[in-house]
């Protein structure tokens, strides 16, 4: 029976394997043909959540090899980063954005007013990178650094891969037209003047969704993970 590093490696490989295969168009097409689009998304989401839970549990059971000592201030890093990640998720999920994962409504996308894509071209992947990078700070043992570092590196690599794929699919001229007021790095288009937000009133429904998501994650952290995420508790 697997245990220690063996279970951790098995969980890591299973998670990586299941996330690499559906990216292949031929395989995804066969799965969608067999299950239907809705069935595929439900099955893949359930499998991803189950494997992620196993991976996190396996990291907790792996041998503890500290890389740096814990200090209470480190808990502030995820507490500052996670509200930003929740905002990126709430405003990025389903938003008109043909340039990235999780975006939709390419016909509704206005390159002159790119919305959340003006903040960051890949908002959902940046949310994952923020979550992972911030959680590595107070979890300085080898298993968790590999876990969170792997997620952060995977999110960044995914952004590069999506940019290349979209550029090939759209053609250089069209990709440049659509991406002109967006940027790979968050807020870079704002800093260099290519993008300026129009209006100071963000969608209250998406703001509310971000608040609810953050509250849910905060409340579920102790029951699910076993420790409070708050610095003083």
Residue 132 scores a pLDDT above 90: yes
For CA atoms 222, 74, 157, 14, the dihedral sign is: negative
Q: Tell me which of 80-84, 176-180, 202-206 is least confident.
A: 202-206
Q: Are residues 41 and 87 in the same domain?
A: no
Residue 153 scores a pLDDT above 50: yes
Q: Of 37, 63, 89, which residue sits at a domain end?
A: 63
b vs e for 42-79, b when ≥16 Cβ sit within 10 Å of the residue's Cβ?
eebeeeeeebeebbeebbbebeeeeeeeeeeebbebbe
pLDDT of residue 217: 92
Is residue 231 situated within a structural domain? no
Average pLDDT over residues 112-138: 94
Q: Are residues 133 and 212 in the same domain?
A: yes
Is residue 72 situated within a structural domain? yes
Residue 201 scores a pLDDT above 80: no
Cα dist from 151 to 114, 160, 214, whole Å: 27, 14, 20
Is residue 130 situated within a structural domain? yes
Cα dist from 129 to 85, 126, 144, 158, whole Å: 9, 5, 14, 10
Average pLDDT over residues 160-179: 92
Residue 105, both tokens: 């409504």
On whether the CB atoms of residues 149 and 136 are closer than 8 A, the answer is yes
Residue 1 scores a pLDDT above 60: no
Q: Are residues 196 and 122 in the same domain?
A: yes
Helix axis angle, 5-20 to 25-61, nearest 10°: 160
Q: Are residues 57 and 102 in the same domain?
A: no
Greater confidence, 29 or 155? 155
Q: Are residues 49 and 155 in the same domain?
A: no
Q: Are residues 58 and 76 in the same domain?
A: no
Q: Are residues 19 and 81 in the same domain?
A: no
When the pLDDT of each residue in the chain is averaged and rounded to a whole number, the result is 88
Query: Which tens digit of pLDDT belongs to each residue from 40-90?
Result: 778 888 888 899 889 988 998 999 999 999 999 999 999 999 999 999 999
Residue 26 scores a pLDDT above 70: yes
Q: Of 63, 88, 112, which residue sits at a domain end?
A: 63
Helix (H, G, I), strand (E, B) or coil at 45: helix
Residue with token string 């990235």:
100
Is residue 232 situated within a structural domain? no
Q: Are residues 59 and 71 in the same domain?
A: no
Is residue 79 situated within a structural domain? yes
On whether the CB atoms of residues 137 and 77 are closer than 8 A, the answer is yes
- Per the structure, the complete domain to which residue 39 belongs is given by 1-63
Is residue 117 situated within a structural domain? yes
pLDDT of residue 232: 73
Q: Are residues 90 and 2 in the same domain?
A: no
Q: Of 36, 63, 90, which residue sits at a domain end?
A: 63
Give me the number of domains the chain comprises.
2
pLDDT of residue 185: 96
Angle at 78 between CA 204 and CA 215, to 5 degrees: 40
Q: Are residues 71 and 58 in the same domain?
A: no
Residue with token string 């989401």:
45
| Number of neighbours of residue 91 by Cβ within 10 angstroms | 23
pLDDT of residue 218: 92
Is residue 56 situated within a structural domain? yes
Q: Are residues 121 and 155 in the same domain?
A: yes
Residues 87, 94, 43, 37: what is their CA dihedral angle, to the nearest 10 degrees?
A: 180
Residue 29 scores a pLDDT above 80: no
Task: Give the distance from CA 176 to its chain's centroid.
Answer: 24
| Number of neighbours of residue 166 by Cβ within 10 angstroms | 17
Query: Which pLDDT band holds residue 131 (cuts at 50, 70, 90)?
Result: very high
Q: Are residues 59 and 73 in the same domain?
A: no
Is residue 207 situated within a structural domain? yes
């Amino acid at each position: 029976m697997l245990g220690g590093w063996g279970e951790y490696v098995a969980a890591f490989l299973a998670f990586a394997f299941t996330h690499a295969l559906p990216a292949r168009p031929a395989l995804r097409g066969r799965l969608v043909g067999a299950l239907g689009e809705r069935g595929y998304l439900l099955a893949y989401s359930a499998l991803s959540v189950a494997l992620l839970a196993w991976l996190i549990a396996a990291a907790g059971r792996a041998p503890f090899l500290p890389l740096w000592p814990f200090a209470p201030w480190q808990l502030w890093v995820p507490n500052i980063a996670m509200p930003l990640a929740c905002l990126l998720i709430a405003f990025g999920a389903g938003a008109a954005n043909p340039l990235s994962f999780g975006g939709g409504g390419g016909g509704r996308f206005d390159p002159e007013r790119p919305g959340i894509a003006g903040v960051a071209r890949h908002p959902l992947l940046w949310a994952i990178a923020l979550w992972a990078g911030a959680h590595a700070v107070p979890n300085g043992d080898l298993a968790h650094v590999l876990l969170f570092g792997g997620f952060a590196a995977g999110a960044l690599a995914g952004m590069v891969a999506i940019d290349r794929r979209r550029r090939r699919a759209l053609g250089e001229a069209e990709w440049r037209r659509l991406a002109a007021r967006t940027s790979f790095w968050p807020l870079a288009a704002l800093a260099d003047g290519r993008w300026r937000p129009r209006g100071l009133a963000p969608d209250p429904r998406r703001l509310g969704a971000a608040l609810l998501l953050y509250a849910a994650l905060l409340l579920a952290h102790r029951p699910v993970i076993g420790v409070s995420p708050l610095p003083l508790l």
